[in-house]
Amino acid sequence: MQRRVIAAVAAVLLAGIGAFLLYNYVNNADKRAMAGQEATQVLVVAKVVPAGTTAESIAPYLETRQLPKVAVVGDALANTADVLGLVTTTDLQVGEQVLRSRFAEPGSSITGKVKVPDNKQELSITLEPQRVVGSTIAAGDKVAIFFTVEGETRMVLNDVLVTNIQGGLDPAATDEGAAPSGSLVVTFALEPKDAERVVFIGETAKLWLAREGKDTANQDTNGVNVKNVFK
């Protein structure tokens, strides 16, 4: 009889210890997941942000999260200080990291499509993500356009306004550090003669985009081919 009582007490104690260990294991799961990984603060969309929302009024739609640094997209924002005075160029979806490239100067329409200057034509072309800066180009960005024709690559156009993007980063993706997949349709505002050149290259050769910095728009290049690529 005494042995049965001791066995019962031991079983209760073991069950209690097991429950305590399980509670600690579950309670510390997030901490273990972050162990060994540097965490960084990033803004994430908590409620869908309509296109055209100003940076000054976006706070109620967002929340701050700590994510492993390797999972943070390159131009993700930790706060809105860098985009004050700008507006969102497209709807931002729940769970999406808030990217600098999703903001542009006021004047974007509620569809995310930037107004086109009166002397320009709109032209769309389909490109793979690696040709569109990893699919991070957004409406309102200014880009340089490179042509590769018969073994030579050259920056042919610069200061080109992007008026719309279809496709891009998938806000529902579980691995936020993964490379984007799928093609994008990029729409430019171009003078008619330049639109002809882009159509021709799109039909016969290759085209790449580069996001322009404030001091790069007027730089001249001489092109690269097999004879001078190593010089």
Domains of the chain: 39-104 (3.90.1210.10), 121-211 (no CATH)
pLDDT at residue 201 in the model? 95
> What would the mean pLDDT of 66-77 be, rounded to a whole number?
86
Residue 58 contacts by C-beta under 8 Å, 6 or more apart in sequence? 49, 80, 88
Residue 126 contacts by C-beta under 8 Å, 6 or more apart in sequence? 183, 184, 185, 186
Order of strands across the sheet that contains 142-149: 121-127, 184-190, 152-166, 142-149, 206-211
Residue 139 contacts by C-beta under 8 Å, 6 or more apart in sequence? 89, 90, 104, 108, 112, 113, 114, 162, 163, 164, 165
Q: Which pLDDT band, with edges at 50, 70 and 90, does 98 fall under?
A: very high
pTM reported for the whole predicted model: 0.52
132-141, 154-163, 169-178, 196-205: which range is least confident on average? 169-178
- Token pair of 6 as six digits: 């001791």
Q: What is the pLDDT of residues 110-151, one digit of tens each?
A: 445 577 777 889 899 999 989 998 878 888 888 999 999 999
pLDDT at residue 36 in the model? 46
Residue that wins the pLDDT comparison between 211 and 10: 211
Q: What is the pLDDT of residues 200-221, one digit of tens each?
A: 999 999 999 998 876 665 667 7
pLDDT at residue 134 in the model? 83
pLDDT at residue 102 in the model? 83
> What would the mean pLDDT of 159-163 be, rounded to a whole number?
90
d(CA 231, CA 227): 8
Pick left, alpha or beta for residue 182 (phi over 0 → left; psi -120 to 50 → alpha; otherwise beta).
Answer: left
29-33, 47-51, 57-61: which range is least confident on average? 29-33
pLDDT at residue 172 in the model? 44
Residue that wins the pLDDT comparison between 175 and 19: 19
Contact yes or no for 137/165 (Cβ under 8 A) = yes
